Structure 1
Amino acid sequence: MQPQQDNLLGESNSFLEVLERISQIAPLNKPVLIIGERGTGKELIAERLHFLSSRWDQQYIKLNCAALNESLLESELFGHEAGSFTGSGNKRRAGRFELADKGTLFLDELANTSGLIQEKLLRVIEYGEFERVGGSQSIKVDVRLVAATNEDLPTLAERNEFRSDLLDRLAFDVITLPPLRARRSDIMLLADAFAIKMARQLDHPVFSGFSREARELLLDYHWPGNVRELKNVVERSVYRHNDPEMQIDQIILDPFESEFRPGQTIRTKDRRDSEPQTQSQQPPQAEDDNLTIPSFPFDLKAHLQDHETAILQKALEQHQFNQKKTADALSLTYHQLRGILKKYNLLDGINSGE
């Protein structure tokens, strides 16, 4: 197996500190716990730990614990004896711990494991032995365990939803990965790398870069899906742009965005004109008695700008200056809202985070 470190790019202090911690802990045959939001690269960090260790030439086995129910997960981890399950026939099956002997086992989504699984994991970590499902013979293994989760395990342990003794054994060292929003200086470094790679896949002769507006959007977006989301967004934007001679000026953050999306309000003029409106669908009528008309002459453009600015500021305040939520509240796309805010010089000091 070859390491896949294409996403492990960065120059920010928080990211470089993580790489330094990995280099420090990798040579030790101790368990490591990796904590981070979805999309921060926990699996890539686990791979790096393995390939920087003395076990680099041995097996690197991985398993997502959230993908299986308790009985299947137990069998996957520890194997089973012949006839232990219906349909298993007479064949004995080795589990991931046996396959990873002398190497590294990476368990993702550890917080989703049951008390039974956690108890058996604790025994393997402490004594290096276990029994297959349906068996009674102890099997000895030499496995370095690396686990990952996006949950707060100490809090789960306090609520008795995760074994405290297992947490103590796993947490010889804990590597907490910074979210992408805390690595703002790395965003364009990653975006350029992903774009160049996608351009090559599309056989484009050149990648002409991102426009200033596109770069601003990439830098200001809050990236709840972190590096994984950034990679998808950049690759999608390069693919849809499909003009290698021109800079990319449109970033496709949400591939589902459409006025025809099921469950969304369709606001096109043709739709309004072509369908009869029920009484509840009729737009509210302005009451002339309540309509205040300023005295003439007056500056209509300035009046409308002040009115629109007041609405924008009110909407931003009500949504804690979250641009995505504000755009939804105003029936605008994220790009449209950004354009209006920029038009009225309202972007300064606004945080686009969730």
Structure 2
Amino acid sequence: MKQTLIGQSSLFLAVLDKVSKLAAIERPVLIMGERGTGKELIAQRLHYLSKRWDKPLVSLNCAALSEGIVDSELFGHEAGSFSGATGKHLGRFERAEGGSLFLDELATTPSSVQEKLLRVIEYGEYERVGGRKTLHSDVRLICATNVNLLELAQQGAFRSDLLDRLAFDVILLPRLQQRRDDILLLAEHFALRMCQELALPLFASFSAQCQQRLLEYAWPGNVRELKNVVERAVYLNPDPAQPISEIIFNPFAGLNEVGNTENPSPSQQDIENSTISLPLDYKHWQQTQDIQLLKQALQHAQHNQKNAAGLLGLSYHQFRGMLRKYKMV
């Protein structure tokens, strides 16, 4: 399913405006941002708004490959250049000829590869691994990183001359937490797509409580994390005709408690050890106890209502009924 750039916050719109201006300029571009902020989508926009739009856009995640493999994948290799090289291999630069090459996780590239990248940028020349023939390249380089390359260069961990060539201009992507106006817009977009994937007839929106939790969450994983959280909420929603009332931020929550039955339940201990002063208003006391238990269970389950129901030995629908009874939803 094709991904798109969505947002209306001032920071996001400023980024899109800058991308539109840079797309027309035949210079390398450096994209910096945390994981999950959409660096690859920005690279795609740069390419398809440029005059190279009808030529190849080739990508490579540099962090996924070892030093020798990165070299070969970028520049290609000749037959017999190393063990297992039974034939000539075209590198990403050759495959991207006339178009754009997107290099993600640039900071992980070894020094030898950085030196070759510098030569391609300066002279448009490179050689295949194990080859002697100089090849010429007409490729626009778009690079991305989630670390501060300026600091790495100052520490000697990244070539400063390569950084100078790449940084004709730098696109800085904001964190999702800085794009508060976009959170609910993106959440609804991902929810609608998930409903289509599940063949659901409609998306009944998020409850007001869920919307508030989405807005207040820090989103360390940025847009990618938001997508996972929303899609999880849609498929777990027991009644698609009703607004989503549960949000699970951490699917691993409660992992350590699974199977732990060494201690009696808090409710049992409370019953055995508590002292009640009589006379009392039983209905008011029972309501107070129920609400307190519901709140404790929700807090312990990180507001996962299904898990909270299990903690109290209730079915999900029984638990939901109690929440409605005490107007907690």
TM-score over 0.5 (shorter chain): yes
Partner of 2:174: 178
How far 1:119 moved relative to its partner?
A: 0.3
Contact map agreement 1:103 1:142 (CA 8 A) in 2 = yes
Given candidates 243, 248, 252, the residue that maps to 1:252 is 248
Mapped partners of 1:92, 1:44: distance in 2: 31
Q: Are 2:144 and 1:153 equivalent residues in the alignment?
A: no
How far 1:255 moved relative to its partner?
A: 1.4
Which sections of structure 2, spanning at least 5 residues, go unmatched?
266-284, 305-329
Partner of 2:134: 138
- Give the aligned length: 288
Letter in 2 for 1:66: A
Partner of 2:16: 19
How far 1:334 moved relative to its partner?
A: 3.6
Mapped partners of 1:332, 1:56: distance in 2: 52
Given candidates 87, 90, 94, the residue that maps to 1:94 is 90
Contact map agreement 2:78 2:85 (CA 8 A) in 1 = no
CA offsets 1:326-348 (integer angstroms, 9 cap, x no match): x9xxx834438xxxxxxxxxxxx
CA offsets 1:257-315 (integer angstroms, 9 cap, x no match): 2x3x2xx24697x54249xxxxxxxxxxxxxxxxxxxxxxxxxx9xx9xxx9xxxxxxx
How far 1:88 moved relative to its partner?
A: 1.8
Partner of 1:76: 73
Mapped partners of 1:134, 1:87: distance in 2: 13
Letter in 1 for 2:19: I
Mapped partners of 1:112, 1:203: distance in 2: 41
Given candidates 116, 124, 148, the residue that maps to 2:112 is 116
Partner of 2:303: 335
Mapped partners of 2:239, 2:114: distance in 1: 52
How far 1:4 moved relative to its partner?
A: 3.9
CA offsets 1:59-99 (integer angstroms, 9 cap, x no match): 0000000000100000000000111121222x111100011
Task: Provide TM-score, normalisation by structure 2.
Answer: 0.81
Q: Are 2:263 and 1:272 equivalent residues in the alignment?
A: yes
Cα RMSD after superposing both structures? 3.1
Mapped partners of 2:116, 2:79: distance in 1: 20
Letter in 1 for 2:157: E
Mapped partners of 2:2, 2:13: distance in 1: 18
Mapped partners of 1:246, 1:208: distance in 2: 6
Mapped partners of 2:300, 2:232: distance in 1: 21
Partner of 2:34: 37
Letter in 1 for 2:251: P
Partner of 1:52: 49
Q: For the structure 1 residues 199 and 4, does the alpha-carbon distance in structure 2 shift closer, same or farther, using more than 3 Å as the test?
A: closer
Deviating beyond 6 angstroms after TM superposition, the runs of 4 or more aligned structure 1 residues are none
Contact map agreement 2:248 2:303 (CA 8 A) in 1 = no
Q: Are 2:234 and 1:238 equivalent residues in the alignment?
A: yes
Partner of 2:314: none
Letter in 2 for 1:183: R
